[in-house]
A and B are shown apart, each in its own frame.
Chain A
Amino acid sequence: MNGVSVRIQKGALSIPRAYRELASEGQGGIVLFLGRVRADRGRDGPVEALEYEAHRGPAEAKLEELAKAARRRFGVREVVLWHRVGVLAVGEASVLVGAGAPHRSEAFAAVSWLITRLKERAPIWKAEIYHRPIRARARRRTS
């Protein structure tokens, strides 16, 4: 890869594949961050899943812009920025951010900066899906 790998994808995130993308010989430090769907209680009860959507073209362009900016800003050599879309159950990984650099401090700093900027600036949204007992669903259909 050209130092940067960005993706908006439906399928699962592959940690081995991300590691291979980042692990060229000059990298003494590789940092991988995974964001997961956590068990949480929302306004309508326990969250069962999150549904992610993206405006794909602009989202990919923004991820690429952020990844390139991180290379310049922190001197990391490789950046991986992958985000999933679709319905993700509690426990599934929704985002993978990785950086490879000669030394660990740049890689840690780049990954922290990237996940913060991604959340602020990439046109990606999530919506909570709540667990509802079967009887409640049936009531809702017949009401």
Chain B
Amino acid sequence: MGWPEGMATSLTILFFSTARGAVGRPEIRYRLPEDGLSVPELLERLCRRYPRLRPILPSSRLVRNGTPLRRRAGRVAAGDEFAIHPPYSGG
């Protein structure tokens, strides 16, 4: 699978805590394919590219443009910013 980067039809994915450790960087840009992408497809592509992310995702929150997603469904839009939030540990 290619992992093309670009601005015009791209989205940003932010990784925090253990998710950042699994991916090895805090942020990636991902260029959307021409026929678009669903949220589950995006997550599956991420897990294939970064296998250490797979066990982290079930317990993580998925945040889209600053708002937690209640369901991991729907289409991804160009310009979206997703964030992977593993369980919180502030304080």
Contacts and interface: CB of A to CB of B under 8 A. Distances in A.
A and B are interacting partners:
yes
A123 B85 contact: yes
A53 B91 contact: no
B90 A126 contact: yes
A132 interface: no
Interface of B: 14, 16-17, 61, 63, 66-67, 83, 85-86, 88-91
Contacts of A42: none
Given A53-B16, A53-B17, A125-B17, A58 B89 contact: no
Given A125-B16, A127-B17, A55 B63 contact: yes
B90 A119 contact: yes
Interface of A: 35, 52-55, 57-58, 61, 83, 94-95, 115, 118-127
B66 A61 contact: yes
Contacts of B91: 35, 83, 94-95, 115, 118-119, 124
Given A57-B66, A58-B66, A61-B66, A52 B17 contact: no
B90 A55 contact: no
A121 B85 CA distance: 11
B88 A119 contact: yes
B89 A55 contact: no
